[in-house]
Amino acid sequence: MSSKDESVFKDRRDKLVEIAARHAEETPSAGHSIALMTEGGHALAPAQLEQRRLIHREDSVRRQSDAFREIRTRLLELAGSQNFITLVVSVSPHSGGSFVARNLAAAFAFDETKTSLLIDCNLRYPNQHKELGVDPAKGGLIDYLEHPIRGLKSIIYQTGIPRLRLVPAGTSRENSGEFFSSFRMRAMLDSLRCRYSDRYLFLDGPAVNGSPDARILSDLADFVVVVVGYGRDTPAAVNQAVANFETSKLAGVVFNQSS
């Protein structure tokens, strides 16, 4: 995570904490807790987690897991006591946006007082279910948005990682923007966030370059994390990508090196 301009971040943090505090006053009942819920099935072993390109607690991936914990700490500092929605997007495809979204969600789930929900919002090229080895037999996000009667519960899948759940994208679609700007999408996220005060939501969006979705999704998120492919994305491309988002939502830039 870059610490480009600490003073800008400090101003932003003060503002965000103020907003979070105001919101907390409006919603005095903190919601229920699901962090201690029981997990069906077996938790995955470290080797299985590495296959899914996921951090774990063993020393072999210490450097990476520390980096994700650091981002977690930063987001929690920005938000104050309220749970929140984080959009993770890469500057260009294959830079590691989905990798970062998945691992950041896992880093939140490592904390036994929190749960995380990763929502695959790349409707054209969904991949989180494949990476996590989840069979989205009961459909996903799109299927729910088209037929909300199915209920939210049916599209939330266990991942084998305690306290980390996945909402897969579901049936893939070309024109996803209209779904993301719909009232139903916003209502769904509100309901997922407000149901449990210890649940943190992560939206895995398509890359900023090549799709308007990242920008549309940022309207639904409290924070945006931009992933830069180290040695892939030029400084000009990074600046152009970052300019898409409200500065008050921009929580940071992650430089990711995939090999």
Ligand X SMILES: Nc1ncnc2c1ncn2[C@@H]1O[C@H](COP(=O)(O)OP(=O)(O)O)[C@@H](O)[C@H]1O
- Residues of the shown chain interacting with Mg ion in the complex, contacts defined by CB under 5 A: 97-98
With a CB cutoff of 8 Å and minimum separation 6, the contacts of 259 are none
- Residue 79: alpha-carbon gap to chain centroid: 15
Q: Verify binding: residue 218, ligand X, rule CB under 6 A.
A: no
Which of the choices ligand X, Mg ion, none does residue 65 contact, using the CB cut-off of 5 to 8 A by kind? none
The rounded distance, in Å, linking the Cα atoms of 58 and 229 is 26
Given the complex with ligand X, which of 95 and 116 has the nearer CB atom?
95
CA dihedral (52, 55, 60, 65) in degrees, to 10, reads 160
Binding mask 169-208 for ligand X (x = CB under 6 A): --------------------------------------x-
Residue 119: CB minimum distance to ligand X, A: 14
The DSSP-derived string for 76-89 is HHHHTTS--EEEEE
Which of the choices ligand X, Mg ion, none does residue 170 contact, using the CB cut-off of 5 to 8 A by kind? none
Given the complex with ligand X, which of 97 and 252 has the nearer CB atom?
97
Q: Verify binding: residue 211, ligand X, rule CB under 6 A.
A: no
Point out which span in 88-96, 132-140, 147-155, 245-253 binds ligand X (CB under 6 A): 88-96
Given the complex with ligand X, which of 16 and 104 has the nearer CB atom?
104
Q: Verify binding: residue 159, ligand X, rule CB under 6 A.
A: no
Q: How far is CA 163 from CA 43, 107, 244, in A?
A: 10, 10, 32
Which of these, 81, 117, 113, 106, lies nearest to 203 by C-alpha position? 117
Which of the choices Mg ion, ligand X, none does residue 83 contact, using the CB cut-off of 5 to 8 A by kind? none
Contact 217, 179 (CB under 8 A): no
Binding mask 118-147 for ligand X (x = CB under 6 A): ---------x--------------------
Instruction: Looking at residues 15 to 74 of the shown chain, list those that interact with ligand X (rule: CB under 6 A).
Output: 53
Point out which span in 91-99, 104-112, 168-176, 237-245 binds ligand X (CB under 6 A): 91-99
95 SS3 class: coil
In the chain, beta strands by DSSP E: 85-90, 115-120, 157-158, 164-167, 199-204, 223-229, 250-256
Backbone dihedral region of 132: left (phi > 0), alpha (psi from -120 to 50 degrees) or beta? alpha
Burial class (CB in 10 A: 0-12, 13-18, 19+), 104: buried
Which of the choices ligand X, Mg ion, none does residue 93 contact, using the CB cut-off of 5 to 8 A by kind? ligand X
- In the list 9, 68, 84, 99, the residue contacting ligand X (rule: CB under 6 A) is 99
Interacting residues toward ligand X by CB under 6 A: 53, 90, 93-99, 127, 207, 256, 258
